[in-house]
């Protein structure tokens, strides 16, 4: 596979420039002016089939939209639009550390918030592909202390388990809840086990977005791999895709070194949920997310059959918002489908869109408590017949 990848890379290099010939940054003075035109992963993918005229046309349209709706109205973070890995537009602005005036650039890893769920689900799919677990396996078979025998791995990933939201545990447990304790994933499992907190509904009876599902899913990854979750994700996802700026945040070791999120000039403080992972706490860059999106077209990384399981909706009502395995989607009667995941944690508000039919990746990672990243949905209309005039991305996390 590596030999074929190298040959393909060399061949593409002969016919496709490795640097952009266009000022693809919103600010021609920024470092993104000379950003690589083509982002690649070590898996064979179809080469780009469009020309410089297409790139220039789309770049101009995106530039006008980005300047009006994001750059000129207070957006802070990273933004990228790519097709088949070819960067059509890219920009970075604002600060990762307001006090030190550290400017955000293409290598600044920002908190993905709930986009992190995409990677937790992908790690589970990789374990399914290697036949370590199955999607319809009972969670209790893997985590014996899990108190609900009828919930499956799939139901964690598609939010149809009925598990209660961990942020509401305090109302359920009252005197048994320590508001000063920084909770771990294992703490959440033990609270569920010890107190058998009432579920919202029985498995597969409804959809309810719930961070607890992905806290438990991360524990499954740890149990099966016998590795800490950050290392497991590195080996299962980040390293194979050469996502060199991406990592899982370690609350106990990295609080002073990671980029922060802000309201005005004040950084958001830490709270008792900040050590939890699986549902959040992956840090990454727009370019690394393009690498991940490219991998979703590769049957070498994950089989086509498993990708199909991930990208289909599990709620029975079609032509509306739906959820797969770690991914949201809009489905319309005209046959168009848009896959995405948004995020919101403290002042980090983020959006990842994947237009499968058009091989387009649209990513906005914000760190100043602005809702502007959620406006990226409307950019889908520049690439195909996506009726996105009035829809909004779900932002409740």
Instruction: Report in angstroms the alpha-carbon separations of 221 from 176, 215, 242, 310.
Output: 28, 10, 20, 17
CB atoms inside a 10 Å sphere around CB 127: 19
What CATH class does 52-382 carry? Answer: alpha beta
What one-character DSSP code corresponds to residue 152?
B
Q: Residue 83 contacts by C-beta under 8 Å, 6 or more apart in sequence?
A: 48, 50, 58, 358, 359, 360, 361, 383
Residue 313: its H or E element: none
Which has the closest alpha carbon to 31: 85, 96, 98, 108?
108
- What's the CA gap between 52 and 95, in Å, rounded? 32
Q: Residue 153 contacts by C-beta under 8 Å, 6 or more apart in sequence?
A: 124, 133, 134, 135, 136, 137, 139, 142, 217, 220
10-residue block means of pLDDT along the chain (397 residues)?
43 36 42 60 89 90 95 95 96 93 96 99 99 99 98 99 92 77 94 91 97 99 99 99 98 93 94 97 99 98 98 83 95 88 98 96 98 93 80 45
Looking at the chain, how many residues does it have? 397
> How confident is the model at residue 179, as a pLDDT?
81
Helix (H/G/I), strand (E/B), else coil: 37? coil
Domain boundaries, the chain: 52-382
Do the strands 77-83 and 360-366 form a parallel or antiparallel pair, or are they unpaired? antiparallel
């Amino acid at each position: 596979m590596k030999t074929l990848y190298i040959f393909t890379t060399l061949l593409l290099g002969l016919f496709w420039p490795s640097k952009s010939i266009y000022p693809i940054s919103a600010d021609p003075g920024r470092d993104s002016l000379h950003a690589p035109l083509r982002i690649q992963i070590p898996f064979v993918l179809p080469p780009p089939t469009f020309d410089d005229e297409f790139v220039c046309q789309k770049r101009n349209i995106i530039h006008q939209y980005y300047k009006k709706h994001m750059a000129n109205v207070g957006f802070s973070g990273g933004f990228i639009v790519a097709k088949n890995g070819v960067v059509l537009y890219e920009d970075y602005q604002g600060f990762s550390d307001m006090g030190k005036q550290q400017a955000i650039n293409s290598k600044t890893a920002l908190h993905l918030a709930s986009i992190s769920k995409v990677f937790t689900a992908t790690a589970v799919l990789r374990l399914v592909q290697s036949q370590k677990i199955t999607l319809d396996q009972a969670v209790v078979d893997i985590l014996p202390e899990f108190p609900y025998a009828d919930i499956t791995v799939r139901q964690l990933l598609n939010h149809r388990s009925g598990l209660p939201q961990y942020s509401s545990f305090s109302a359920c447990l009252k005197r048994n809840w320590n508001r000063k304790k920084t909770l771990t994933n294992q703490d959440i499992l033990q609270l569920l086990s010890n107190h058998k907190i009432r579920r919202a509904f029985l498995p597969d009876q409804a959809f309810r977005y719930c961070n607890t599902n992905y806290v438990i899913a991360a524990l499954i990854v740890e149990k099966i791999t016998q590795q800490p979750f950050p290392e497991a994700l590195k080996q299962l996802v980040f390293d194979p895709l050469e996502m060199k700026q991406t990592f899982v945040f370690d609350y106990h070791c990295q609080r002073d070194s990671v980029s922060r999120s802000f309201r005005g000039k004040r950084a958001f403080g830490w709270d008792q949920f900040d050590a939890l992972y699986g549902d959040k706490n992956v840090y990454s860059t727009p370019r690394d997310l393009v690498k991940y999106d490219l991998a979703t077209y590769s049957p070498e990384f994950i089989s086509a059959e498993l990708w199909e399981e991930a990208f289909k909706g599990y709620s029975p009502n079609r032509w509306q918002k739906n959820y797969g395995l770690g991914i949201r989607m809009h489905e319309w009667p005209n046959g168009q489908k848009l896959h995405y995941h948004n995020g919101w944690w403290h002042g980090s508000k983020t959006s990842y869109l994947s237009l499968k039919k058009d091989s387009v990746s649209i990513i906005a990672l914000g760190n100043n408590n602005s809702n502007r990243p959620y406006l990226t949905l409307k950019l889908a209309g520049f690439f195909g017949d996506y009726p996105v005039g009035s829809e909004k991305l779900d932002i409740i996390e």
